[in-house]
Chains A and B, each alone.
Chain A
Amino acid sequence: QQQVKQSPQSLIVQKGGISIINCAYENTAFDYFPWYQQFPGKGPALLIAIRPDVSEKKEGRFTISFNKSAKQFSLHIMDSQPGDSATYFCAARITRAGSYQLTFGKGTKLSVIP
Chain B
Amino acid sequence: KAGVTQTPRYLIKTRGQQVTLSCSPISGHRSVSWYQQTPGQGLQFLFEYFSETQRNKGNFPGRFSGRQFSNSRSEMNVSTLELGDSALYLCASSLVGMVGGNSPLHFGNGTRLTVT
Residues of A within 8 A of B (CB): 31-32, 34, 36, 41-46, 49, 51, 89, 91, 95-107
Known: A98-B50, A102-B33. 4 other contacts (CB 8 A): A31-B100, A51-B100, A98-B96, A103-B45
* Bound-state Cα–Cα, A100 to B96, Å: 9
Total contacts A-B at CB 8 Å: 76
B17 at the interface (CB under 8 A from A): no
Report Cα–Cα, A45/B12, bound state, in Å: 26
Known: A43-B110, A46-B105, A49-B104. A99 touches B42 (CB 8 A): no
C-alpha spacing A97/B35, complex, angstroms: 19
A81 to chain B, nearest CB (A): 23
Complex-state Cα separation, A45 to B92, whole angstroms: 10
Q: Give chain B nearest CB distance to A72 CB in angstroms.
A: 19
Q: Which residues of A contact B4 (CB under 8 A)?
A: 43
Question: Residue of B at shortest CB range from A96?
Answer: B56
Q: With a CB–CB cut-off of 8 A, which chain A residues contact B55?
A: 96-99
Q: State how many angstroms separate the Cβ of B27 from the closest Cβ of chain A.
A: 18
